[in-house]
Structure 1
Amino acid sequence: MSPKHEKTIFFEALEIESPRAREAFVQGSCQGDPKLLDAVSRLLAEHDRADNPIDHPVVASLPTFDAVTQQVARSIEANHPPGTMVGPYKLMEQIGEGGCGLVFVADQQVPVRRRVALKIIKPGMETRQVIARFEAERQALAMMDHENIARVFDAGVTQTGQPYFVMELVRGVPLNEFCDNHRLDTRQRLELFLSICNAVQHAHQKGIIHRDLKPSNVLVTLQDGRPIAKVIDFGIVKAIGQSLTDKTIYTRLASMIGTPAYMSPEQAEMSNVDVDTRSDIYSLGVLLYELLTGSTPFVVGRLNSVGFDELRRIIREEEPPSPSTRLSTLGNQLSTTVSANRRLEPAKLTSLMRGDLDWIVMKAIDKDRARRYPSAIALAQDVSRFLEGQPVEARPPSTLYRFSKFARRNKVALTTVSLVAGALVLGTVVSLWQARVAYHAMEQARIAAAAAKSSNAELEGFTDRLRRANTLIASGRAYADAGDWSNANEAFTNATQTQPRYFHAWMERGSLYAKMGLWEMAASDYRKALELGSPVDGVQFLGVPQLFDYVGDHAKYEQLAKDLAQSSSGSLGTILRGQLVDQPSAEVSAQLAVLGEQLLEERRLRPDGRPTRTSRIPRGPKLYVAGWAHLRNGDIDRAIERLEESLDEATIWPASGINYPLLAIAYTQAGRSDDAAKAWTLAKQSRDQWLDQSIETQQGTPPIPWFDWIEFLMNYREASLRLTGELPPDDPRLDQLKSLARGAIANSAPDPLPSP
């Protein structure tokens, strides 16, 4: 058994006021060691005895903690019953009890008669350390003179040698109870909090750290109808750069001082890091958190249910939720109660917390004390800025944020600059006072004008970049039409760099890559264009849903196909092809089949009755789309009819060969195996012909419109699976096409820039 170990546990247990909590702590610290438990229990029992242990032998069986508590209570009543005189003070009733002291209401008899609060050391607690701490509190209070700190009137020692001091009797209730009982709104709570910050700042200027700020140590009373907060109980104060008493106060190694829910991480650390005034800033932050939300950052119930080491870990390592987050996660009943106490609806209270108040509170309770407010007055000033609608220091000072605060405070100055100028001229004639008011208004107008000038400059810069981007886009189109892929790519790329948030720059380069068969690069640019939030245009997005589906971006495919279906622009054929490339549901397939027939009739029925363009689409593609829609709907005979009709349009539709994979699928489903084999052969012949043509004469670009080509490749793959049971074998010519296309973009000889 280690004597040092048992003393450490003994000293730590003395800091715990509740007998049951103290007993649980001792049991956990001894970890099943009966000898250690017996030794610590004896020390605690002897410490709490009212009589002198030297005069009596140690009993074999130790009393329980409840018995000890009752014994101490009887001792208190015996030593300090009502009517007892302590110096010139007559004790009336006990109103408080701390770790080592008792607080009484007392009547001063001489030289004046008044009612005071008298604090005296508990009987049996007159150890060197306790007396030193008691005298430190007495000296700390005597040094301070502030309306929000309980004043000390007198001090002395009883005939039995017990130190006491007399202070102002605060007839108040704890801070949080007062605010809730009187249903103070957020502004009133913040104004009350400001007075507490001023009191703590006064203590810090006197070189005193409180170290145990919590609602029960801030009593609030009404004085002339105005709430007055009083900071009390400087029982565990710490002096900065001075000695409060000539007696030694030893803060024990591995001893945690304070109340866990309000304790700063450095207090819980119990390391060589010294505790300074920023520890009180943390506790003030917790007070503010509780005033706003009705709860401490770490819920007290949780802190009381965990072991000592876990308690320290939570305080030192876990990040608490912001006040607005805490409010948004409260249960309905609790949220309603908290909001009612602050005279706001739950949603409005959460909205009020979000922003500046979140920033202020989270800065005050930052784990790193170097990032907290440097002083209590700095915290109070930031709260005052919030109340006055000014930018707070805790929040990152973005230009937009500061401007919004300025605009909110100066709406009239920003909207009536000309009237302000007139008021200035008039004010100089009327009186000097009015001239000062007008001068102030003119200053506000000057600031607004400067901000407007800055905004105009930014707008001019944006317009200039937009103009240059449009010039580059026009040049890129000219190069693309001339087949100069390298210069076209360079022009479009420069456009995206000149104005990165210009929708058309990304769309143009994406279209170039699609024409070259560089599907992944095209999909990347189309994604960027969609992220910029421009309305979906069915004309510009022709073939883009098919491309997303082909490269495997199914989420973008589904969203774009849906947006195109709701778009007021673009042809019906474009919208149908974007939806047919996937496997739609039975209900959607039936709708698409109806729309396919409407496509042939040159009309489209929208839910709002608006007409759309369809007449410019050749009949061949319309028949192809209608046949495809019937195939998806399971109407095989009608699908074959429409697809066969589309073959008759081959002379005016060069891409008619894209029908063959769909015909092969339709013939297979109809049981016409011979016709399916012929269609499949024609599909392979078309594929080989187009691949060879792309390599030999097209610099790797698709020989037919790129959206027709990508649909053909997808339907060719589906037909192969249905007819042969497996995907078509990899064709090296497809990789060769990509290589040729990349080479065309990179290696084309630069020509003089064509005119837009």
Structure 2
Amino acid sequence: MTVASEKSIFFQALDIESSSERAAYVQQACAGNENLLTAVCALLRENERDVNPVDRPLAAFLPTLSPVGDEEATDSRFTPGTMVGPYKLMERIGEGGFGWVFVAEQQSPVRRRVALKIIKPGMESREVVARFEAERQAIALMDHPNIARVFDANVTETAQPYFVMELVRGVPLTEFCDSHQLDMPERLELFVTICHAVQHAHQKGIIHRDLKPSNILVTLQDGLPLAKVIDFGVAKAIGQSLTVRTIYTRFTSMVGTPAYMSPEQAAMSTGDVDTRSDIYSLGVLLYEVLTGSPPFAPDRLQSAGFDELRKIIREEVPPRPSTRLSTLNNELAGTVAVNRRLAPETLASAMKRDLDWIVMKALDKDRNRRYSTAGAMAEDVSRFLMDQPIAARPPSTWYRFTKFARRNKVVISTVSLVAIALVLGAAVSVWQAREAIRERDEKEVALGEARAAEQAANEARTELEKFNDRLNATTVLLASGRANADAQRWPAAYEAYTEATNVLPKYFLVWLERGGLNAKLGRWDAAATDFAKAVEIGFPIEQAELSGVPQLLFYAGESAAYKTLSEELKTSDKNDPMAVAARGQLAGELSPADAARLADRVEQMLSAIGDADNPEATHEPKTKHRSYAKMFYGVNLYVAGWAHLKAGNNERALQRLKESNGANWFGRGIAHPLIAIAHHRLGNAEDAVRSFEQSQGLLDRILDESVAQSKGSPSIPWIDWVEFLINHREASIVVKGHTPAIDPRIRQMQSFAEATVAD
């Protein structure tokens, strides 16, 4: 037989008027469970008291505390001068529901003043001791500059638990803000630090459950406000017990301060309280810091009956902070404005709409709509302070409508039926009207479409004729540019290409050709800009110039065009040598597996070419020129070495790269930096340095020759030159451990290049 819960037995017993029948029911329902029987009987006795928390207002049964410092209310064992362990009590500064707080002086091992909290004599119930131990362990778990630190914990000779914590000489949060007249940004910055402290506690698995101004003390440290969160006396662990004893909250009690209590706390379901309960309390704190009062007046909550209090907290939506400020009377508005260093007439307008959204999001009755963490709330406030968009947003129109619909189901149903009838009637009328005029309009529409088609055809024909004229003019200009370039009449060639870009700017070939001229002259930034324009227009990747475009775009920092080209090359299925070579230059964009597949394809090409020095052994058509075969063989050796290096096949890469340096081709020697990288990966430190020095020597020789001859481009093709510079820079980072500075000789070459075009 399943035994009912303590709560269900208690409520069922309340419905039985006869004492004897009630007792018999409880005995039967508990089914021999002595602990359950004891708990239910205790609840029934509490309910029969004249003063109980269910039938009387909360204020009626709040304990009446003696004024702080009233020595008659303090046990004689704990008067000033009494020693508690190594701590000498100085004065009592606070009193809670179950404990006293003293200023004490630690005698050893160091002398310092501390705050000592001890359970009141006669209140050592299991629940109170458990709460005290929870507070002690909760604070001990945390280490944050905005949370009071715990120094010690022990029991007195009379077995009363106490703990010793940092003595915070501060004032409550709201009192500090008003007394120091902090403006809105200063208050928000201070609030952000409090959010971070609460976030730290949540990360340690602790919910405070009683965040309020008196539990956040603020003092000045080095001239700046420093907030300290104190009093974790009602804290509970998230998902686990803090002590070996059970911290049990009776379902007829509410833990926390009503003005700062979340709706789920007011529901008195302890298993339903999580970190978002503290988010609600932070929202109340922010509301009070901004407006000078909490959302619900404490006097109203204290005078309300128990059920009315719970209803206010759980169901009533408070006014927005801006609305609260706009409704203050003149005297109170003047005080609030002065405390925030504002003119009274600007008080309401000073509350930005974003602050309304932040506060109301934290105060949402539905905790799923609050901030998920205290850190998220702090981040939103920080975004507001930096004039950035905030994450909080007002409830959508649909969300507000669904809430309204739930409250007014009958009205909504009636209005909906009427609206549907009206809409259907209007729809039928409109349909009939449209059918009546459709036939009349068909001929006019058809005639208009025919006229529009004729006009479009005429415009297209005219545009095509204009395009043909521009294309013919562009062809002439491109031919002129090539002829002048072949004759090394650089200014005339550049002028012809530039004119072609003006005549037909959407034609990729004009940008490619001018980019090639700029690259040949050493004007790499201008060439990269032209190539990027060609990529933007969408030129075919099979263009012969493609083998050099990727390197130049990468070297000049045209990242967007380089990325676009990379994606196109990856998906290219062409087997022509230039496309394969281009993919080789972009191996850095490939995964090791893709690079390995690329290396295999180039190796197949090398096998097909055979020995370039033995034309009889090659598989190329005999019409191929022998020097072309040798040149192409060197290129593919280099590309194969590159791909092997990117795939992690360092030994094979080293072999192919060395072979490419030995082959007789126009880029001979540019593999030195890649050889240095391969040696470095294989652990050959000396060989890596030696290869890098060879790379540096080649760089110096080319630069010195170009500067001596006042040339903007080196003696080797510009494609190989850019490739070499990129790899030399990477080798310097890998082998030498630093990025080389731009060589001043390169800037000299660039000035020579500009002068070449200007001449």
TM-score (norm 1): 0.45
Q: Normalising to structure 2: TM-score of the pair?
A: 0.45
